Amino acid sequence: MLLIVISSFCGCNEISNVFSSEKNKFIGTWETSPENVSYHSFSGFFEITYFSDGTFNANGVYPGTYEIKDSKLVMKSGYSEWVLDYYFSNEDKSFTMIDSIDRTITYHKIN
């Protein structure tokens, strides 16, 4: 019986580590070009910095929180919430967000 309980905890920890590892990919500052932003629900977010504590700051003035939930990036700022599909490319130096109506925007890591 004890063996079953221990193996159950080990499995949960592995899942938690996968989400932590995925969240760690976001940490840093990302930017996009202005022409990309106008076609996405993130109008005006040219630069986003993600921090390890689960917070972000867009353009240096729009703070919020983020998490990975059900394999989606969930970002909240003020009264707004975005649930986005995403994928990394270019050896995790770029990532693309896809909003609820399939508009995409790609950010590139600058630090």
Task: Count up the domains in the chain and report the number.
Answer: 1
Q: Exposed e or buried b for every residue in 79-111, given b needs 16+ CB within 10 A?
A: eeebebebeeeeeeeebebbbeeeeebbbebee
Question: Strand (E) positions, 15-103?
Answer: 28-31, 47-50, 55-58, 62-69, 72-77, 80-89, 94-98
Q: The domain containing residue 64 runs over which residues?
A: 2-109
CA distances from 63 to 27, 37, 88 (A): 15, 18, 23
Residue 99's pLDDT is what?
85
pTM: 0.76
CATH code for position 53: 2.40.128
CA–CA dist 109, 99 (Å, integer): 20
Residue 101's pLDDT is what?
85
CA–CA dist 66, 51 (Å, integer): 9
104, two tokens: 């995409």
Nearest to 31 by CA among 111, 90, 107, 88: 107
Residue 35's pLDDT is what?
65
How does pLDDT run along the chain (111 residues), one tens digit per residue? 433 443 444 454 444 454 478 899 999 999 987 666 555 556 567 899 999 999 999 988 889 999 999 999 999 999 989 999 999 999 999 999 988 888 888 999 998
